[in-house]
Amino acid sequence: MSKEKKARFQSGIAAFLFLMLVPLSCGTQGKTAGPAGTAPGASAAQGRTVELPAVEVRSFEGKNLSSVDDFSENSIQGPRKVDLGSYRLQVAGLVKTPLSLRYEETLAHPAYSKAVTLNCVEGWSATILWEGIRLSDLLAQAGYDPSATTVIFTAHDGYTTSLPLDYIVDRDILLAAKMNGIAMPAERGYPFTLVAEDKWGYKWIKWVTKIEVSRDTAFRGYWESRGYSQEGEYGGPMFE
Ligand SMILES: Nc1nc2c(c(=O)[nH]1)N[C@H]1C(S)=C(S)[C@@H](COP(=O)(O)O)O[C@H]1N2
Ligand SMILES: [Mo]
Protein backbone atom coordinates (compact mmCIF):
# COMPACT_ATOMS: atom_id res chain seq x y z
CA MET A 1 0.00 0.00 0.00
CA SER A 2 1.35 3.43 -0.91
CA LYS A 3 1.93 5.95 1.88
CA GLU A 4 -0.91 8.10 0.55
CA LYS A 5 -3.33 5.17 0.29
CA LYS A 6 -2.43 4.00 3.79
CA ALA A 7 -3.12 7.44 5.24
CA ARG A 8 -6.50 7.57 3.48
CA PHE A 9 -7.32 4.04 4.74
CA GLN A 10 -6.41 5.00 8.30
CA SER A 11 -8.48 8.17 8.28
CA GLY A 12 -11.31 6.09 6.83
CA ILE A 13 -11.15 3.76 9.83
CA ALA A 14 -11.01 6.73 12.19
CA ALA A 15 -14.12 8.26 10.60
CA PHE A 16 -15.90 4.86 10.75
CA LEU A 17 -15.07 4.42 14.45
CA PHE A 18 -16.19 7.98 15.13
CA LEU A 19 -19.54 7.42 13.42
CA MET A 20 -20.00 4.19 15.41
CA LEU A 21 -19.34 6.04 18.68
CA VAL A 22 -21.65 9.01 18.13
CA PRO A 23 -24.97 7.15 18.05
CA LEU A 24 -23.75 4.85 20.83
CA SER A 25 -23.10 7.72 23.23
CA CYS A 26 -26.40 9.40 22.29
CA GLY A 27 -28.25 6.16 22.96
CA THR A 28 -26.64 5.78 26.36
CA GLN A 29 -27.55 9.32 27.36
CA GLY A 30 -31.15 8.79 26.29
CA LYS A 31 -31.42 5.65 28.40
CA THR A 32 -29.99 7.18 31.57
CA ALA A 33 -32.32 10.18 31.34
CA GLY A 34 -34.92 8.76 33.71
CA PRO A 35 -38.15 10.52 34.63
CA ALA A 36 -36.61 11.57 37.94
CA GLY A 37 -34.16 13.69 35.96
CA THR A 38 -31.04 11.94 37.26
CA ALA A 39 -28.31 10.74 34.98
CA PRO A 40 -26.11 7.95 36.35
CA GLY A 41 -23.77 8.55 33.40
CA ALA A 42 -23.39 12.24 34.25
CA SER A 43 -19.88 11.76 35.65
CA ALA A 44 -18.71 11.03 32.10
CA ALA A 45 -19.18 14.74 31.39
CA GLN A 46 -16.29 15.49 33.79
CA GLY A 47 -17.71 18.48 35.58
CA ARG A 48 -19.79 19.80 32.69
CA THR A 49 -23.56 20.06 33.19
CA VAL A 50 -25.40 17.42 31.20
CA GLU A 51 -28.62 18.96 29.98
CA LEU A 52 -31.51 16.52 29.82
CA PRO A 53 -34.82 17.17 28.10
CA ALA A 54 -37.23 19.00 30.42
CA VAL A 55 -39.96 16.75 31.79
CA GLU A 56 -43.41 18.13 32.54
CA VAL A 57 -45.01 17.47 35.91
CA ARG A 58 -48.32 15.70 35.13
CA SER A 59 -49.87 15.21 38.58
CA PHE A 60 -50.13 17.37 41.67
CA GLU A 61 -51.59 16.46 45.07
CA GLY A 62 -53.25 13.40 43.55
CA LYS A 63 -54.83 15.35 40.68
CA ASN A 64 -53.94 14.81 37.04
CA LEU A 65 -52.58 17.85 35.21
CA SER A 66 -53.05 18.71 31.56
CA SER A 67 -50.02 19.10 29.29
CA VAL A 68 -48.71 22.47 28.12
CA ASP A 69 -49.70 21.17 24.65
CA ASP A 70 -53.36 20.64 25.62
CA PHE A 71 -54.28 24.19 24.58
CA SER A 72 -56.10 25.28 21.47
CA GLU A 73 -53.92 28.09 20.15
CA ASN A 74 -56.16 30.93 18.97
CA SER A 75 -54.34 34.13 19.90
CA ILE A 76 -55.43 37.28 18.06
CA GLN A 77 -52.14 37.52 16.10
CA GLY A 78 -50.98 33.92 16.37
CA PRO A 79 -48.16 32.72 18.65
CA ARG A 80 -45.46 35.23 19.59
CA LYS A 81 -41.76 34.78 20.33
CA VAL A 82 -40.65 37.41 22.84
CA ASP A 83 -36.95 38.31 22.86
CA LEU A 84 -35.69 38.59 26.45
CA GLY A 85 -32.86 40.95 25.45
CA SER A 86 -35.27 43.78 24.71
CA TYR A 87 -38.12 42.61 26.96
CA ARG A 88 -39.23 44.97 29.75
CA LEU A 89 -42.24 44.62 32.02
CA GLN A 90 -43.74 48.07 32.70
CA VAL A 91 -45.64 48.78 35.91
CA ALA A 92 -47.31 52.16 35.49
CA GLY A 93 -50.30 54.35 36.31
CA LEU A 94 -51.27 55.11 39.93
CA VAL A 95 -47.91 54.08 41.45
CA LYS A 96 -45.20 55.97 43.37
CA THR A 97 -42.38 54.49 41.29
CA PRO A 98 -43.12 53.33 37.74
CA LEU A 99 -41.10 50.20 36.97
CA SER A 100 -39.44 48.88 33.83
CA LEU A 101 -38.10 45.46 34.70
CA ARG A 102 -36.06 42.87 32.87
CA TYR A 103 -37.16 39.24 33.06
CA GLU A 104 -34.72 38.36 35.89
CA GLU A 105 -35.57 41.52 37.83
CA THR A 106 -39.25 40.59 37.70
CA LEU A 107 -38.43 37.14 39.04
CA ALA A 108 -36.56 38.63 42.04
CA HIS A 109 -39.82 38.34 44.03
CA PRO A 110 -40.65 35.16 45.99
CA ALA A 111 -41.89 32.28 43.83
CA TYR A 112 -45.34 30.76 44.32
CA SER A 113 -47.10 27.90 42.60
CA LYS A 114 -50.65 26.65 42.33
CA ALA A 115 -52.64 24.22 40.20
CA VAL A 116 -55.36 26.19 38.42
CA THR A 117 -57.71 25.38 35.54
CA LEU A 118 -58.04 27.70 32.54
CA ASN A 119 -61.50 27.50 30.92
CA CYS A 120 -61.87 28.98 27.45
CA VAL A 121 -65.30 30.20 26.34
CA GLU A 122 -64.90 27.81 23.37
CA GLY A 123 -65.50 24.88 25.75
CA TRP A 124 -62.07 23.38 26.41
CA SER A 125 -60.05 23.60 29.61
CA ALA A 126 -56.54 22.86 30.91
CA THR A 127 -55.36 22.30 34.49
CA ILE A 128 -51.74 23.33 34.93
CA LEU A 129 -49.30 23.75 37.82
CA TRP A 130 -48.45 27.42 37.35
CA GLU A 131 -45.37 28.94 38.98
CA GLY A 132 -44.35 32.57 39.18
CA ILE A 133 -44.61 35.67 41.33
CA ARG A 134 -47.57 37.29 43.04
CA LEU A 135 -48.78 40.31 41.15
CA SER A 136 -49.45 42.05 44.49
CA ASP A 137 -45.70 41.85 45.32
CA LEU A 138 -44.89 43.58 42.04
CA LEU A 139 -47.54 46.25 42.65
CA ALA A 140 -46.22 46.78 46.19
CA GLN A 141 -42.71 47.28 44.77
CA ALA A 142 -44.08 50.09 42.60
CA GLY A 143 -46.04 51.51 45.57
CA TYR A 144 -49.56 51.32 44.18
CA ASP A 145 -52.31 53.67 45.27
CA PRO A 146 -54.73 51.53 47.30
CA SER A 147 -57.62 53.78 46.22
CA ALA A 148 -57.18 52.51 42.63
CA THR A 149 -59.87 50.09 41.44
CA THR A 150 -58.62 48.49 38.24
CA VAL A 151 -55.53 46.93 36.76
CA ILE A 152 -55.18 47.18 32.98
CA PHE A 153 -52.91 44.70 31.18
CA THR A 154 -51.28 45.02 27.77
CA ALA A 155 -49.45 42.28 25.85
CA HIS A 156 -46.80 42.02 23.15
CA ASP A 157 -49.46 41.30 20.50
CA GLY A 158 -51.54 44.36 21.39
CA TYR A 159 -54.04 42.27 23.37
CA THR A 160 -55.52 43.93 26.45
CA THR A 161 -57.71 43.02 29.42
CA SER A 162 -58.45 44.37 32.89
CA LEU A 163 -59.28 43.03 36.36
CA PRO A 164 -60.31 44.56 39.68
CA LEU A 165 -57.38 45.50 41.95
CA ASP A 166 -59.07 43.79 44.94
CA TYR A 167 -59.33 40.50 43.05
CA ILE A 168 -55.61 40.60 42.23
CA VAL A 169 -54.51 41.41 45.78
CA ASP A 170 -57.04 39.32 47.76
CA ARG A 171 -56.76 36.21 45.57
CA ASP A 172 -52.92 36.14 45.33
CA ILE A 173 -53.11 36.24 41.55
CA LEU A 174 -49.91 35.00 39.92
CA LEU A 175 -47.87 36.17 37.00
CA ALA A 176 -46.56 32.79 35.84
CA ALA A 177 -43.18 32.07 34.25
CA LYS A 178 -43.36 28.25 34.45
CA MET A 179 -45.96 25.62 33.63
CA ASN A 180 -45.84 22.07 35.05
CA GLY A 181 -42.28 22.67 36.22
CA ILE A 182 -40.87 23.59 32.81
CA ALA A 183 -40.16 26.99 31.22
CA MET A 184 -43.32 28.50 29.76
CA PRO A 185 -43.47 27.68 26.02
CA ALA A 186 -43.42 30.71 23.67
CA GLU A 187 -46.97 30.07 22.42
CA ARG A 188 -48.33 29.83 25.99
CA GLY A 189 -47.18 33.37 26.81
CA TYR A 190 -43.45 33.36 27.56
CA PRO A 191 -42.10 35.20 29.47
CA PHE A 192 -45.26 35.90 31.55
CA THR A 193 -48.90 34.79 31.56
CA LEU A 194 -51.50 35.99 34.04
CA VAL A 195 -53.12 33.17 36.03
CA ALA A 196 -56.61 34.69 36.27
CA GLU A 197 -58.14 31.88 38.31
CA ASP A 198 -61.93 31.54 38.22
CA LYS A 199 -62.07 33.88 35.22
CA TRP A 200 -62.72 32.87 31.60
CA GLY A 201 -59.59 32.18 29.50
CA TYR A 202 -59.68 35.57 27.77
CA LYS A 203 -58.68 37.20 31.10
CA TRP A 204 -55.49 35.05 31.15
CA ILE A 205 -53.40 37.51 29.18
CA LYS A 206 -50.22 36.03 27.67
CA TRP A 207 -46.92 37.81 26.78
CA VAL A 208 -47.67 40.54 29.36
CA THR A 209 -45.68 43.73 28.75
CA LYS A 210 -47.53 46.38 30.76
CA ILE A 211 -49.48 46.49 34.02
CA GLU A 212 -51.27 49.76 34.67
CA VAL A 213 -52.86 50.63 38.01
CA SER A 214 -55.96 52.72 37.30
CA ARG A 215 -59.35 54.07 38.35
CA ASP A 216 -60.78 53.61 34.87
CA THR A 217 -63.58 51.10 35.45
CA ALA A 218 -64.92 51.93 31.97
CA PHE A 219 -61.86 50.41 30.26
CA ARG A 220 -62.74 47.42 28.07
CA GLY A 221 -60.09 44.98 26.85
CA TYR A 222 -59.84 43.27 23.45
CA TRP A 223 -62.65 40.69 23.93
CA GLU A 224 -64.56 42.76 26.49
CA SER A 225 -64.96 45.57 23.93
CA ARG A 226 -66.35 42.94 21.51
CA GLY A 227 -69.18 41.93 23.83
CA TYR A 228 -67.56 39.48 26.25
CA SER A 229 -68.28 39.92 29.95
CA GLN A 230 -66.23 42.58 31.74
CA GLU A 231 -66.36 40.54 34.96
CA GLY A 232 -65.48 37.35 33.07
CA GLU A 233 -66.36 35.08 36.00
CA TYR A 234 -66.05 31.40 34.97
CA GLY A 235 -69.49 29.84 35.09
CA GLY A 236 -71.07 33.28 34.89
CA PRO A 237 -72.36 34.92 31.71
CA MET A 238 -69.90 35.00 28.78
CA PHE A 239 -71.54 38.03 27.23
CA GLU A 240 -72.88 41.31 28.58
N1 LIG B 1 -51.73 38.25 24.54
C2 LIG B 1 -52.79 37.43 24.41
N3 LIG B 1 -53.20 36.75 25.47
C4 LIG B 1 -54.27 35.91 25.37
C5 LIG B 1 -54.96 35.73 24.15
C6 LIG B 1 -54.48 36.46 23.03
O7 LIG B 1 -55.00 36.39 21.90
N8 LIG B 1 -53.38 37.29 23.18
N9 LIG B 1 -56.03 34.86 24.10
C10 LIG B 1 -56.72 34.54 25.38
C11 LIG B 1 -57.63 33.37 25.29
S12 LIG B 1 -59.10 33.61 24.46
C13 LIG B 1 -57.37 32.17 25.96
S14 LIG B 1 -58.52 30.93 26.03
C15 LIG B 1 -56.08 31.96 26.66
C16 LIG B 1 -55.40 30.64 26.26
O17 LIG B 1 -55.16 30.70 24.91
P18 LIG B 1 -54.16 29.73 24.13
O19 LIG B 1 -54.82 28.41 24.10
O20 LIG B 1 -54.07 30.35 22.78
O21 LIG B 1 -52.86 29.72 24.88
O22 LIG B 1 -55.16 33.02 26.40
C23 LIG B 1 -55.73 34.30 26.50
N24 LIG B 1 -54.66 35.26 26.49
MO1 LIG C 1 -60.35 31.70 24.96
**From the CB of 153, is ligand 1 less than 6 Å away?**
no
**pLDDT for the residue 51:** 84
Q: Which atom of ligand 1 is nearest to the CA of 73?
A: 20
**From the CB of 194, is ligand 1 less than 6 Å away?**
no
Q: What are phi and psi of 141, to 5 degrees?
A: -60, -40
Ligand nearest to the CA of 222: 1
240 residues of the chain, pLDDT tens digit each = 455 555 554 554 444 444 444 333 333 333 333 333 344 444 556 788 888 888 999 999 999 999 999 999 999 999 999 999 999 999 999 999 999 999 999 999 999 999 999 999 999 999 999 999 999 999 999 999 999 999 999 999 999 999 999 999 999 999 999 999 999 999 999 999 999 999 999 999 999 999 999 999 999 999 999 999 999 999 999 999
Cβ-contact 174, 134 below 8 angstroms? yes
Ligand nearest to the CA of 223: 1
pTM: 0.82
**From the CB of 201, is ligand 1 less than 6 Å away?**
yes
How many whole angstroms separate alpha carbon 56 and alpha carbon 62?
Answer: 15
**From the CB of 73, is ligand 1 less than 6 Å away?**
yes
